[in-house]
Amino acid sequence: MKKTYTAKPEDIKMKWYIADAKGQTLGRLAARIATILRGKHKPIFTPHLDTGDGVIVINASQIKVTGRKLKQKVYRRYSGYPGGLREVKLEVLLAKKPATVMQLAVQRMLPSGPLGRDLIKKLRVFADDKHDLTGIKPVVLEARK
């Protein structure tokens, strides 16, 4: 009888990737990044463990969206108090905080709970092409067409 493989801490090796968001579609890039953060691209993937790699995203302000999402997509948060619902359109959020748009897109594709909170810490998003993480020597993540 075969046993299910479970990755051991000594088997897990973390790498860093850098993704250029310039001209790429938000959802497609976010899905690719979520896969890498989760570790699903590795043969040692284990669902309940953090086997993934880190990702740096640059040029988040130059991401593109399709259709009428720019005008119609709304980000909502609710404080729990009466009148505490806050809404902001994608167009406004992209102009003010472009890194937040990318962060939320990836975060909402990850599992909720302790594992998801650990995974999102390995994502760094920058609005332009300057970042302070040159010391880790990230591998370039090729754009899919």
Tens digit of each residue's pLDDT (9 = 90 or more) over 12-32: 999 999 999 999 999 999 999
Does domain 16-140 fall under CATH 3.40.225.10? My reply is no
Q: Sketch the domain layout of the chain as residue ranges.
A: 16-140
Residue 129 vs residues 53, 58, 92, 141: alpha-carbon distances, Å: 21, 5, 21, 15
Rounded to two decimals, the pTM is: 0.92
pLDDT of residue 143: 74
Distance CA 88, CA 75 (A): 5
Please state whether beta strands 85-89 and 123-125 pair in parallel, antiparallel, or not at all (unpaired).
unpaired
